[in-house]
Chain A
Amino acid sequence: KNEVEQSPQNLTAQEGEFITINCSYSVGISALHWLQQHPGGGIVSLFMLSSGKKKHGRLIATINIQEKHSSLHITASHPRDSAVYICAANAGGTSYGKLTFGQGTILTVHP
């Protein structure tokens, strides 16, 4: 079992819909990252969270440390949001700073 689990694995939406991607982790973490990867490869860091909630434009990320759960929300989705969304956990310890990745959620937004 992966230490970081995402759901759903695939998500299809119509333009304008509200989207939620979930991330659960079993390890103790100090920070949780949400990343976006478009076809072609480039990865962009969207958020880094250690508590609470962050918002950037139409994107909102929340984390519940007690429940070991984070969500990424996209409001008013658009076809350009189509990408793979990856959550990644930062643990301390000997691999200080190493990211443990979830398997990714493939999002397709249709016009």
Chain B
Amino acid sequence: DTEVTQTPKHLVMGMTNKKSLKCEQHMGHRAMYWYKQKAKKPPELMFVYSYEKLSINESVPSRFSPECPNSSLLNLHLHALQPEDSALYLCASSGRQGVGETQYFGPGTRLLVL
């Protein structure tokens, strides 16, 4: 199984809502990533978890809160988002965090904040 799954595929939320994005992989990977991608732009790294511990936080606003409850699951909790947070949110995983590791991407969650 070389698949990274993400749910939901699409999400529309208001600025006062709380929602969560979910990412799952069963490849035994120990590094997991959240990226944000705006239209016609490359992905921007948000967070990296390595062995279920937060390794990199790219100065992301606190309205985005990541969580890695176990080695297969990665969540992104959303609260009080702004319309400019509307984007495609991609999850990825790799065997470990390191140079030369292939990252396997999920299909993404397309988020619209109204």
Q: What is the interface of chain A, defined by CB distance below 8 A to chain B?
A: 30-31, 33, 35, 40-45, 48, 50, 86, 88, 90-92, 95-99, 101-104
Contacts and interface: CB of A to CB of B under 8 A. Distances in A.
29 contacts: A30-B99, A31-B99, A31-B100, A35-B105, A40-B107, A41-B37, A41-B88, A41-B107, A41-B110, A42-B106, A42-B107, A43-B43, A44-B105, A45-B102, A45-B103, A45-B105, A48-B101, A90-B99, A92-B99, A96-B97, A97-B98, A97-B99, A97-B101, A98-B45, A99-B103, A102-B42, A103-B42, A104-B41, A104-B42
A90 B100 CA distance: 7
B90 to A, nearest CB: 7
Interface residues of B, number: 26
- Residue of B41, B42, B88, B90 most packed against chain A (CB within 10 A): B42
Contacts of A30: 99-100
Given A43-B92, A48-B100, 11 more contacts: A30-B99, A30-B100, A31-B99, A41-B37, A88-B42, A91-B99, A96-B97, A97-B48, A97-B97, A97-B98, A103-B41
A99 to B, nearest CB: 7
A92 B101 CA distance: 12
B88 to A, nearest CB: 5
- Residue of B43, B56, B99, B100 most packed against chain A (CB within 10 A): B99
A52 to B, nearest CB: 14
A83 to B, nearest CB: 13
A99 B45 contact: yes
A103 B31 CA distance: 24
A33 B94 CA distance: 13
Contacts of A88: 42
Interface in B79-114: 88, 90, 92, 94, 97-108, 110
A101 B99 contact: no
A96 B100 CA distance: 10
Contacts of B90: 41, 43
